[in-house]
Each structure stands twice: as structure tokens, then as C-alpha cells.
Amino acid sequence: MFSETSEFAKKVKDFKEERLLEHLLMQRDSETGTGWGDEGRLYFWIREQDFAELNFEHVWVILQYT
């Protein structure tokens, strides 16, 4: 579909490689009494380099709920 040398293919490859350097730091369920939405989870993610340096300034959160 896209040639291996296309700019788009390079961006996709870079994106995939970056995702390999990200790790789930913590998962929190709404059942713990926090009460967001009806039912859901918070996923806290961190880059490998930041975790190694104990740098939590760039942690990001994904909220998943029903």
C-alpha cells in the first residue's frame, strides 16, 4: 500500500517504536470509591526514560468508562 521509503511509512514506524518505550505505570478502577462515570478505569502511562529518571512530570492518563 505504501512504499517502505515513503514519509508516511517512516512516521508509522517511528510511532510504533515510540509506543514500545511507553509503559503502564498504574491502573485504577472506579470500584475503589473514586466515582467517575458509571464504571471505568484510569490508565497512567509513562515513558521508559522518564521512569528510569523518576521523572513523573510527563505521565499521561487515559480514562475508559462505560
Per-residue pLDDT tens digits for 42-52: 899 999 899 99
Domain presence at residue 26: yes
Can you give the residue range of the structural domain that contains 34?
Answer: 22-65
- pLDDT, one tens digit per residue, over 8-36 is 888 888 777 777 788 999 998 877 555 66
DSSP string, 8-28: HHHHHHHHHHHHTTEEEEEEE
Number of domain units in the chain: 1
- Residue 38 inside a domain? The answer is yes
11 within some domain:
no
The pLDDT of residue 56: 95
Q: How do the residues of the chain divide into helix, strand and coil, expressed in percent and rounded to 5?
A: 30, 35, 35
Q: Is residue 14 part of a domain?
A: no
Q: Is residue 61 part of a domain?
A: yes
pTM above 0.75, yes or no: no
- Look up cell 485504577; give the residue: 28
Quote the CA–CA distance of 40 and 34 in Å, as a whole number.
Answer: 10
Domain-located, residue 41: yes
